[in-house]
Each structure stands twice: as C-alpha cells, then as structure tokens.
Amino acid sequence: MNDKSEIRAAFLNFLEKKISSIKAELAAVKDAATSETKSSMGDKYETSREMMMQERNRLGSQLEIIMNQVAALNMIDVEKSHSEVAYGCLVKTEESTFFISTAAGQLKIGSQVVFAVSGEAPLSKAMMGAKVGDSFTFNHKSFKIMDVK
C-alpha cells in the first residue's frame, strides 16, 4: 500500500489541476461577458448575460468546493498512524483502498486505485472504528479490513 503522504500529494495535484481548469473557464466566461455588446435585440443580450452570470456562479461554487477539499486534505496529519478506521487514515480492504479524507473521487496511483472518501460519507461511517481483521457491511456487501494506516 502506498504511503499516505504520496496519496495525499496525488489527490492535491489532481485537485490543483481542477482548480486551474475552473479558473481558466471563469476567465473565458468573464472575457465573453465583457466582449458581449448590447445588440438591437435587447432580450437576446439580457438572456446571454444572464446565462453567463449563471455559469460564473456555477463555476464559483465548484471552485469553492474544491478549495475546501484542498483545505481538508492539508489538515490531515499523514505521519499519524491509526489502529482503527478514523478520519485521515488509509484503509485497505480485500477489494479496495480508501483514504478517509474528502470526497475527491478515485485516482490510480502507481498500480493502485485509491478512493478519497469524506469522513461524513455513509461508506466511511460504516467502517469507522473498525480494526484490521474486522468486517463491515455497506450496500448489502461485506468488506474485510486488511490494513489501516
């Protein structure tokens, strides 16, 4: 199993790329809004302006969510070892590896797929407090914990 600092770094890099992409989209929307001139058909102009405003708000919300995910990842003490499943730990089951941190999705890190899961997610709650050798059930499926870091 990869170490937590490597996994956290991979997810931070993944999220930083998303941030860059959203910032580029925001810049494009801003450029489009400033280059839009009021046409003789006022309704068309107002509709276009409203759509750009909605897009800017949507992108702003996405950016805020991702920034919060970055902050959550940065708060994790990757040097701390865990004897049971808790926030900030890495959990290896027979089938999957979970990083209990933030809902950042899945990444392939080396040859391993790791799922970053929020500590508030039902899956995380189902395994909280479990130790190596314990099993937990989620969505009618049983998982055995092989390692906790």
Q: What pTM value is reported for the model?
A: 0.84
pLDDT in the model for residue 34 = 72
| 99-137 residues labelled b (16+ CB within 10 A) or e (exposed) | bbbbebebbebeeeebbbbbbeeebbeebeebeeeeebe
pLDDT tens digit sequence for 18-71: 999 999 999 988 887 777 655 545 566 577 778 888 999 999 999 999 999 999
What is the CATH architecture of 90-148?
A: Roll (3.10)
117 confidence band (pLDDT: 50, 70, 90): very high
d(CA 53, CA 21): 18
Which has the higher per-residue pLDDT, 119 or 49?
119
Which has the higher per-residue pLDDT, 37 or 10?
10
pLDDT in the model for residue 105 = 93
The CB density around residue 2, as the number of other CB atoms within 10 Å, is: 16
DSSP label at residue 77: -
Q: Where are the domains of the chain?
A: 4-75, 90-148
Contacts of 1 (CB under 8 A, 6+ apart): 90, 92, 97, 112, 147, 149
pLDDT in the model for residue 30 = 83
pLDDT at 113 over 90: yes
